Structure 1
Amino acid sequence: MTENIEDIEIELLLEAMYQHYHYDFRNYARASLKRRLLHARKQLGYDSISAMQSDVLHDRTMLPRLLNYLTVQVSEMFRDPSYFRALREKVIPHLRTYASLKVWVAGCSNGEELYSLSILFREEGLAHKTMFYATDINPNALKAAEAGVYPLEHIRLFTENHQKAGGLTSLSDYYTADYGRAVFDKSLRNQVVFSDHSLVTDSVFGEMHLISCRNVLIYFNRELQNRAIGLFKDSLARRGFLGLGSKESLRFSAHAGAFSEFVAEEKIYQRGLT
């Protein structure tokens, strides 16, 4: 009975968040979303989801706190180095042929993937003609991404990943150590637009040559995955590239026919001409 009541409370909370704030989590994969909501309830000190809902509706400071639990912010620079090596060796040669480039990091979280791509494009001599668009629904994550500050204890892993990804320079060229933090150089975000954007409710905002959206779709149900992939298709230039996470695929998408596998083992796809 308690479990059924919790499910009802969760439905009501998600509907309330959508109606009041236009944040739509209703089609997120329910099992993982429920776990995160129950964890948030416990960590934030509420006896029930309904009590938490009341504060979400009546105290605007509660929404960003709850979003920190509902949006996943665990990442690392050059995560899955073989993905970035594939971009460097197989995708970059195609991107070189364009006079200007647009790259969208969808679900940028705290910015690790953005800075990885910014560094990669600088090393490959493409930074000067590339605009990056880093988007997320979590305002706290966007602020962290724009700041570009990470715990110094993470740098060893970031550095190892960078080298495995075929790094042409030293990662230390791009940050300064400051009181236990690594502060990444502001020049890495000179041509970056940080923006709130939801794959659930928002639409196309530009024609991209590369979209990297990794480990986001796994939190969506099938209907929402289809919507997001359709959005990527409509946002990509013809022959543009889409990179997904290692556990994600276009295989069951209604839009799979619009793409071909470009580097299958790294989940890098290329949009067709139609």
Structure 2
Amino acid sequence: MAVSFGNVEELIALVNNVHGLDLGGYSRASLKRRISRILAIYQIDFTVLKDNLVNAPGFFNKFLVEVTVTVTEMFRDPAYYKTLREDIIPYLATFPHIKVWSAGCSTGEEVYSLAILLHKEGLYNRTFIYGTDINMDVIERAKQGIMDLKKMKTYSDNYLQTASGDSLSEYYTAKYDAAVIHHELRKNVLFSTHNLVSDGVFNEFQLITCRNVLIYFNADLQRKVVGLFYASLALFGFLCLGAKETLAPYNLEGKFRMISKTHNIYQKIA
């Protein structure tokens, strides 16, 4: 059956009432597409979807994976990571301690990409990286540091395009059909659940990355989340958004300066 915007509102209310999760700030058009996808994946109708969300153990987490969009890969958009390495990391090196927050980290590919960059530049031992996501299932996968070995060729190609000068294979061990990220790159990483909609500031960071997450929120929630990031950044810290996201609508002149228009990287200046 086709999903209507009325169905979307009904589901938002149900999820909030039953699971305490407020999806009200998510883009209705995006939710409509994701719900249609869920119905197709599980070959169910909207009535069964509602029943599963209330009565089927474990289904809510599967629903959450689809609704909150978990598409990710290591060194996705290599030019962005090249910019980080050349323009941002040298500045981070001036801080005695570096705290990084990867918001909406999914299964951890971006977190481990950042860990490799910082390790390569000799900064990892004085860095702590927090990876957060709303979904406990993807967080548990991220903690393991285990990647599908079939995907490592793509990840390795991405890494080479960052002009790193070495091979990604130096940072993981292949075991059967899995690639295990070296323990050295996991020791200063903490993964935990965090809801950008309802949770607040939990630290002061020199670098926050939240790429291609805001585009799924409505304007009011985007403004709220940007405010959360501003409050969570140390002075002269950096905020990295996705290629389709910008701070332009939020009237933050005098608070941030643009570092990279191409990659939407900003520095907090006030």
Shift of 1:72: 1.3
Equivalent of 2:16, from 9, 18, 34?
18
TM-score, normalising length: structure 2: 0.94
Equivalent of 1:27, from 13, 25, 28?
25
Equivalent of 1:136, from 133, 136, 143?
133
Equivalent in the alignment of 1:251: 248
Q: Give the superposed CA RMSD.
A: 1.6
Alignment of 1:118-197 (within 5 A): 118-197=115-194
SS at match of 1:135: strand
- How many residues were matched structurally? 270
Deviations 1:108-144 (A, max 9, x none): 0111110100000000011000010000011111112
SS at match of 2:247: coil
SS at match of 1:212: strand
Aligned partners of 1:195, 1:256: CA distance in 2, in Å?
Answer: 32
- What one-letter code is carried by the residue in structure 1 that aligns with 2:22? D
Mark the CA change 1:258 to 1:22 in structure 2 (over 3 Å): closer, same or farther.
farther
SS at match of 1:266: coil
Stretches of structure 2 lacking an aligned partner (at least 5 in a row): none
Shift of 1:168: 4.2
Equivalent in the alignment of 2:42: 44
Equivalent in the alignment of 1:54: 51
Equivalent of 1:7, from 5, 8, 11?
5
What percentage of aligned pairs have identical amino acids?
41
Does the CA-based 8 Å contact 2:30-2:216 persist in structure 1?
A: yes
Shift of 1:214: 0.5
Alignment of 1:257-268 (within 5 A): 257-268=254-265
- What one-letter code is carried by the residue in structure 2 that aligns with 1:43? I
Stretches of structure 1 lacking an aligned partner (at least 5 in a row): none
Does the CA-based 8 Å contact 1:226-1:255 persist in structure 2?
A: no
Aligned partners of 1:10, 1:60: CA distance in 2, in Å?
Answer: 22
Shift of 1:256: 5.3
SS at match of 2:202: coil
Shift of 1:257: 4.6
Equivalent in the alignment of 2:211: 214
- What one-letter code is carried by the residue in structure 2 that aligns with 1:47? D
Deviations 1:187-215 (A, max 9, x none): 21111111100111111100000001101
Equivalent of 2:92, from 86, 92, 95?
95
Shift of 1:95: 0.9
TM-score, normalising length: structure 1: 0.93
Mark the CA change 1:86 to 1:241 in structure 2 (over 3 Å): closer, same or farther.
same
1:73 and 2:39 equivalent? no
Shift of 1:65: 1.2
